[in-house]
């Protein structure tokens, strides 16, 4: 499998070995990055790749071949099934679940217990900086966009745009969030600002993109409240 982002081996960050609780179950074929903390009763299966600086909470489960980038947080009892891929800085809340079977059955039509050859696993992909709330469920195959925020208890059944704020069952977008995770405030036609960082964003055709800070500083694209509506898109 090709990994679209760097996952650091221990040799990349010498002197910061991972901390693994005695009761954690780490397969010998798994890879754990420097500075990562694996807490009590967590299980990391074979061929899983965990980046540097991650936290795997109590009772969390990381399936075979699952990939986590650097600085991810997987909270207590979250379940991440293969072949999920989490990019850098992803947050997964307590008891969240990433599924991997579109049509789950324990047995075949002739009554025999299914094995790995009887179904095709599909995965959840989570892009950089996104957050999945407590007890949320992501129904594979879906992609959660960068910096998106899925609310607690939501059920995600379709791809989520970058920066989207998703709630409900099934999950629907009710707004946008910035990189700080705070809901953005509208400041004009299709323009938004983060109340925490001051970063500004533009929405176009359902896609949110950050406005380069240089453009704001030079006045090439000032805050929307300082521009007449007819000039907001200049």
Q: Which segment of 41-55, 135-149, 215-229 scores lowest on mean pLDDT?
A: 215-229
Band the pLDDT of 5: cuts 50, 70, 90: low
Q: How would you classify the pairing of strands 131-132 and 31-32?
A: unpaired
Check whether residue 18 and residue 55 sit in a common domain: yes
The 3-state DSSP composition of the chain as helix, strand, coil percent (nearest 5) reads 10, 30, 60
Residue 222 has pLDDT above 90, yes or no: no
Residue 95 has pLDDT above 50, yes or no: yes
Check whether residue 85 and residue 169 sit in a common domain: yes
Check whether residue 5 and residue 117 sit in a common domain: yes
Check whether residue 223 and residue 130 sit in a common domain: no
Check whether residue 70 and residue 92 sit in a common domain: yes
pTM for this structure? Answer: 0.85
Check whether residue 169 and residue 213 sit in a common domain: no
Check whether residue 118 and residue 217 sit in a common domain: no
Check whether residue 113 and residue 223 sit in a common domain: no
The pLDDT value recorded for residue 231 is 32
The pLDDT value recorded for residue 70 is 97
CATH of the domain at 41: 2.160.10.10
Residue 232 has pLDDT above 70, yes or no: no
Check whether residue 202 and residue 99 sit in a common domain: no
Q: How would you classify the pairing of strands 124-126 and 85-86?
A: parallel
Q: How many domains does the chain have?
A: 2
Out of 177, 200, 218, a domain closes at: 177
Q: Rounded CA gap, 52 and 69, in Å?
A: 7
Q: Do 24 and 60 contact (CB within 8 A), yes or no?
A: no
The pLDDT value recorded for residue 4 is 53
Domain of residue 149 covers 1-177
Check whether residue 200 and residue 101 sit in a common domain: no
Band the pLDDT of 3: cuts 50, 70, 90: low
pLDDT digits (tens, 9 = 90+) for 126-169: 999 999 999 999 999 999 999 999 999 999 999 999 999 999 99
Check whether residue 129 and residue 224 sit in a common domain: no
């Amino acid at each position: 499998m090709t990994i679209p982002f760097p996952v650091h081996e221990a040799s990349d960050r010498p002197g910061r070995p991972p901390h693994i609780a005695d009761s954690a179950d780490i397969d010998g074929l798994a890879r754990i990055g420097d500075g990562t903390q694996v807490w009590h009763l967590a299980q990391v299966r074979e061929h899983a790749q965990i980046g540097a600086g991650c936290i795997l909470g109590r009772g969390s489960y990381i399936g075979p071949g699952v990939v986590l980038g650097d600085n991810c947080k997987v909270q207590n009892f979250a379940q991440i099934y293969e072949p999920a891929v989490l990019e850098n800085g992803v947050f997964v809340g307590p008891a969240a679940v990433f599924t991997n079977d579109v049509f789950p059955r324990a047995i075949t039509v002739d009554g025999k217990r299914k094995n790995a050859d009887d179904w095709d696993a599909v995965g959840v992909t989570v892009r950089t900086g996104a957050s999945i709330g407590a007890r949320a469920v992501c129904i594979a195959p879906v992609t959660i966009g960068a910096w998106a925020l899925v609310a607690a208890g939501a059920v995600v059944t379709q791809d989520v745009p970058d920066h989207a704020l998703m709630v409900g069952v099934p999950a629907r977008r009710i707004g946008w969030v910035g990189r700080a995770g705070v809901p953005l405030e509208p400041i004009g036609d299709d323009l938004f600002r983060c109340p925490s960082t001051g970063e500004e964003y533009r929405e176009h055709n359902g896609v949110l993109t950050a406005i380069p800070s240089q453009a704001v500083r030079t006045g090439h694209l000032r805050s929307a409240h300082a521009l007449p509506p007819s000039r907001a898109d200049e």
